[in-house]
């Protein structure tokens, strides 16, 4: 599926009843992605099925000898291995009416019952915060996060966050890690705008996280940086980790840095600044901001890594004043590509520059410094 910014929302809500034969569940419904050839629709990536609070399974000859936890993992893919092991440890799994340990080997004809653990509330409160949703279905959302919106509640930001907004908007969450909350697959800094994926179920979250880990998700940013790069593009490969003295910052001089790769190219030159396209092969905290600063071209408005007085190096007084007045880091998550965790479809999104960055670029362009 190809989605362009502004094409609206897709609110798919297909379902297939999974309760048939000797493998059935009753009670509380939980969404599940079913692998091809299983109980759900046979299409790439699986389909949507109803799994319910009390699940009953009959062990077949082909399943004999499996550990109980592995057997249940194959039957309830919407649950993580850790959740199944906790459920077994809490006595929520029984074989022929008797409690059993995770390592118990199942036998042909045995009846296995699993009580799905209750999804716990997250503690965050739903809040009617407006959201710009580009795409939504039963598994995930793609949103355009505005600059200034914090993603997760934290000390100092207990409310007014993206999570609070999503809890108000989403009425069909099935829980992430046993907690009723949206699954933030990747993050954007508070002052960074642009595209963000949110999972609605534990399984969708794990599948998307796997794509990020395998570097299958492609993200491209637009960054307005100080100065005029000598080259038209390049590759920055430098480990990023916690700053050796300032624990609130990241650095390429960290004692325990993790490999990080950033690709960049000049999109437009303004003389005192340049607009770059930036693609990241890794997703380290503050990676783009740290790497561009190390390159000598920090992001405009970045008061952590760019230097609070960098605007003073701009020669033109009007340009200097305009850049000084820009009150956030000029970084925007522009393009996003990933594979839908259930359908296997290619998902492509793009969002043009937000109004504040677009206006600053227009001003620089009109000054004729490029």
**Residue 246 half-sphere exposure toward CB, CA atoms < 13 A:** 8
Burial class (CB in 10 A: 0-12, 13-18, 19+), 294: middle
Q: Which residues contact 206 (CB under 8 A, 6 or more apart)?
A: 80
- Domains of the chain, start order: 16-115 (3.10.290.10), 119-214 (3.30.2350.10), 216-370 (3.30.2350.10)
Rounded distance between C-alpha atoms, residue 56 and residue 122, angstroms: 28
Q: State the Cα angle at 138 between 134 and 143, rounded to 5°.
A: 20
* Token code pair at residue 92: 């929520």
255: left (phi over 0), alpha (psi -120 to 50) or beta: alpha
The one catalytic residue in 39, 137, 144, 189 is 189
Q: Three-state SS for 173? A: coil
Q: Tell me if 236 sits within 8 A of 294, measured CB to CB.
A: yes
DSSP annotation of 63 reads G
User: Which pLDDT value is given to residue 344?
Assistant: 94
pLDDT in tens, 149-159: 988 676 666 78
Rounded distance between C-alpha atoms, residue 326 and residue 298, angstroms: 14
pTM of the model: 0.69
User: Which pLDDT value is given to residue 253?
Assistant: 86
User: Which pLDDT value is given to residue 127?
Assistant: 86
Ranges of residues in the chain whose predicted pLDDT is under 70:
1-53, 78-80, 116-124, 152, 154-157, 171-182, 307-308, 368-370
Burial class (CB in 10 A: 0-12, 13-18, 19+), 326: middle
189 flagged as catalytic:
yes
* Token code pair at residue 282: 């890794």
User: Which pLDDT value is given to residue 226?
Assistant: 94
Rounded distance between C-alpha atoms, residue 190 and residue 131, angstroms: 15
């Amino acid at each position: 599926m190809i989605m362009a910014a502004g094409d609206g929302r897709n609110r798919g809500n297909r379902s297939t009843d999974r309760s048939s034969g000797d493998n059935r569940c009753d009670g509380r419904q939980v969404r599940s992605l079913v692998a091809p050839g299983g109980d759900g629709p046979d299409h790439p990536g699986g389909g949507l099925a109803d799994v319910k609070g009390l699940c009953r399974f009959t062990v077949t000859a082909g399943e004999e000898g499996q550990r109980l936890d592995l057997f249940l993992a194959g039957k309830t893919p919407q649950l993580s291995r850790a959740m199944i092991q906790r459920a077994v440890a809490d006595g929520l799994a029984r074989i022929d009416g008797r409690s059993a340990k995770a390592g118990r080997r199942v036998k042909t004809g045995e009846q296995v019952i699993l009580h799905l653990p209750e999804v716990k509330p997250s503690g965050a409160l739903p809040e009617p915060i407006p959201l710009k949703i580009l795409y939504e279905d039963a598994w995930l959302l793609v949103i355009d996060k505005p600059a200034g919106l914090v993603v997760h509640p934290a000390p100092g930001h207990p409310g007014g966050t993206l999570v609070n907004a999503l809890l108000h908007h989403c009425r069909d969450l099935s829980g992430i890690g046993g907690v009723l909350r949206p699954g933030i697959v990747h993050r954007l800094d508070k002052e960074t705008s642009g595209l963000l994926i949110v999972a609605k179920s534990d399984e969708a979250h794990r599948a998307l996280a796997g794509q990020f880990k395998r570097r299958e998700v492609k993200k491209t940013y637009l960054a307005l940086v100080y100065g005029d790069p000598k080259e038209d593009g390049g590759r920055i490969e430098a480990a990023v980790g916690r700053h050796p003295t300032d624990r609130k910052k990241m650095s390429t001089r960290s004692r325990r840095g993790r490999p990080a790769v950033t690709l960049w190219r000049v999109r437009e030159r303004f003389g005192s600044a340049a607009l770059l396209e930036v693609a990241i092969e890794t997703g380290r905290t503050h990676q783009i901001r740290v790497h561009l600063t190390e390159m000598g071209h920090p992001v405009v408005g970045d008061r952590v890594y760019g230097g609070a007085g960098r605007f003073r190096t701009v020669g033109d007084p009007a340009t200097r004043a305009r850049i000084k007045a820009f009150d956030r880091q000029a970084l925007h998550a522009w393009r996003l590509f990933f594979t839908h965790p259930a359908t296997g479809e290619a998902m492509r999104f793009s969002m043009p520059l937000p109004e504040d960055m677009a206006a600053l670029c227009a001003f620089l362009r009109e000054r004729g410094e490029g």
